[in-house]
A and B are shown apart, each in its own frame.
Chain A
Amino acid sequence: MSTYYVDKFLYTVDRDPEWLRQYKEDPEGCLEKWEKEVGCWLSDAERSTCLDLTDEERAALVHHDYVWLFEHGAHFFLNLTIFIALYDEEYATRSGPLSFQREFAAKLQHWVGKEYPSVAI
């Protein structure tokens, strides 16, 4: 697991409309590009050489699989906000306000009453 790197992806993509657009339209291409252009950089000049995604993390991000991400410790706020950005509008148009957020909750119902996976790294 490299939860930090997953969170870094969610954090940096959510804050940038152009990265969000790419993540919506071409998740696989976006992730590949992001790792080269954003993920492996600490700042504009300093490269991070210590971060990598596992195959499972890569697959979860490519498939917008917020259930897997929740279950493997991605931060709950980042994991919610980015997928609201991707899906809220089309769900709201089709099924009313907050319908995406309610579907998100419904897919996690098996966690009610249990201790959630920790978001501590």
Chain B
Amino acid sequence: MAELTAVLASTHHPFYYKATTSPPAERPPFAAAWQAKVEAYRETLTAANPDVLVMVGADHFHQFFLDGYPQFLVGKAPRYDATFYNEVREFGLPTYVLQGHTELSGYLLQGLLDRDFDMAFSHELKIDHSIVCPIITTRPQADLPVVPVYTNIFAPPMPSPRRFYQLGRAIREVIDAYPSHLKVAAIGTGHLSLELGGPRQFGEHGPDPEFDRKAIEWLATGNIDAILENVTHESLSAAGNATAGFMDLILMLGVAGPDAVADYIDELDLFHTREMYLTWYANGVPDGAPVRSLAENLHELEAVAP
């Protein structure tokens, strides 16, 4: 059977690429610290040594629009163009052609249908920054085949937080059952509290630091009960109008499993949002793989607190 070697759940930030590749004099003051955090996090995926990446993201009205927006979708193409014109324009992101893995895509699609998830599918999917960003941060050589899974965190009405978690559980079951020698890593990105196009955007911190604090602890300790008790579409909106992206992180906790304590936990307070980097080594910590506990993370936060 395939081996799931790592589950990564992180925020994605389209400013990262430009902030860390511009000429040094043009980089923002936080770029070096940000790059150090990201490159340390990248080592968790490198240590897991995957052959293929299942990547969970969401189309930000690039390919899909309100004339037909899928709630959940699996990409089934042999190759994927990545990065849209308006992402190059706004963020300076590079374009890619990512290799697909049609066999695992097909197996995942059928396996999810068999588990009562009526997934949409696409044979011509262009990947946007929800997947390009984690390629840049965790696998910049972009050399592994990918199986994209898209969710709706964007166009209400959306599936419930519970449904995102259940989909994550089902994805885990299908990967574990996949008859293959391959090592698989699952990478999903979303958001902590985030505001876009509203009055709380681009402030000194994210729109709801208290939510961020709780959210990181819930995810890092695998506390799905607390998440499902506290997180609703309404509570997410109250934390920031784009905070629904947190549901993709709930999905990734579903892939990691109930009560799964993350092996690597890190975060960074950027000027208008909080970055979070979590990894679960799903089948044991690989030799030499980096680990970073919640206590260690909190200790650093206290040390840098004003």
Contacts and interface: CB of A to CB of B under 8 A. Distances in A.
Interface of A: 4, 7-8, 11, 14-17, 42, 66, 70, 75-81, 84-85, 88, 97-98, 101-102, 104-106, 108-112, 115-116, 118-121
B202 A98 contact: yes
Nearest to A110: B199
Contact of B86 (A79, A81, A104, A110): A81
A80 B242 CA distance: 12
Nearest to A101: B202
A53 B216 CA distance: 43
B197 A104 contact: yes
Q: How large is the interface on B (under 10, 10 to 19, 20 to 34, 35 or more residues)?
A: 20 to 34
B111 to A, nearest CB: 31
A1 to B, nearest CB: 14
Given A85-B90, A120-B156, A80 B197 contact: yes
13 contacts: A11-B61, A14-B86, A17-B85, A78-B61, A80-B196, A84-B90, A85-B86, A85-B89, A104-B201, A105-B202, A105-B203, A112-B199, A116-B237
Given A15-B62, A105-B200, A105-B201, 18 more contacts: A8-B66, A11-B66, A16-B85, A17-B85, A66-B197, A76-B196, A76-B197, A84-B90, A85-B86, A85-B89, A88-B90, A104-B197, A106-B199, A108-B198, A108-B199, A111-B198, A116-B237, A116-B241
Contacts of A77: 60-61, 154, 196-197, 242
B84 interface: yes
Given A7-B66, A14-B86, A15-B86, A119 B198 contact: no
B66 A4 contact: yes
A111 B198 CA distance: 8
B157 interface: yes
The DSSP consensus for interface residues of chain A is helix
Interface string B60-100: 11100111000000000000000011100110000000000
Given A101-B201, A109-B199, A15 B85 contact: yes
A76 to B, nearest CB: 3
Nearest to B154: A77
Nearest to B90: A84
Interface in B192-214: 196-203
A15 B197 CA distance: 18
Contacts of A85: 86, 89-90
A85 B89 CA distance: 8
Contacts of B86: 14-15, 81, 85
Interface in B84-122: 84-86, 89-90
A54 to B, nearest CB: 18
A112 B200 contact: yes
Nearest to A120: B156
Contacts of A115: 237
A77 B201 CA distance: 11
B61 A76 contact: no
A104 B154 CA distance: 21
A42 B66 CA distance: 12
A118 B156 contact: yes
A71 to B, nearest CB: 11
A42 B68 CA distance: 12
A119 B196 CA distance: 13
A109 B199 CA distance: 5
Nearest to A97: B28
A72 to B, nearest CB: 13
Contact of B66 (A70, A81, A121): A121
A34 to B, nearest CB: 15
A95 to B, nearest CB: 13
A116 B66 CA distance: 20
Nearest to A4: B66
Contacts of B237: 115-116
A54 B237 CA distance: 28
